[in-house]
Amino acid sequence: MLEHPKHIYQPRYFNDLKAFKNKVEKLDIDCMVCLKRSGFLPGAYISFQTNIPLFTTSELDSIPEKFTKILLIDDKVYSGRSIKQWLVKLIMMNKQITTAALYIQSEYKTDIFGVDLGCQHTMWYELDEK
């Protein structure tokens, strides 16, 4: 079945996530901060696989001072508006930030990403191919 970029089926999602984790493992970071909801699945998966501490955006005040190199992670980014909001807050906390997204959708590119979908579509995550 030819897959339209707006549909991400479960097998592809997890294959993309595994490849993305390999990119994250090469980074010099102390911890990750995931955007709540959308960034939690890739953040939790990578944290579990690598033992890199994970915080959500609502836990910024809980990040230990010793963690200065932070990966700010989301599952998909289009305009970058959400990730930029948290990027500014972390910069104001004197942190070194690398931005990351499993999927980008053309307009805004994070420092690292898994796949550039090259489209502006809203994505649907499907459990099974139809």
16: confidence class by pLDDT, cuts 50, 70, 90: very high
Q: Distance between CA 9 and CA 126 in Å, rounded? A: 5
127: confidence class by pLDDT, cuts 50, 70, 90: low
Domain boundaries of the chain, sorted by first residue: 7-57+65-122
* Domain 7-57+65-122 class in CATH: alpha beta
Cα atoms in the 13 Å half-sphere on the side-chain side of 117: 26
Report H helices in 29-128: 40-50, 81-92
pTM for this model (two decimals): 0.88
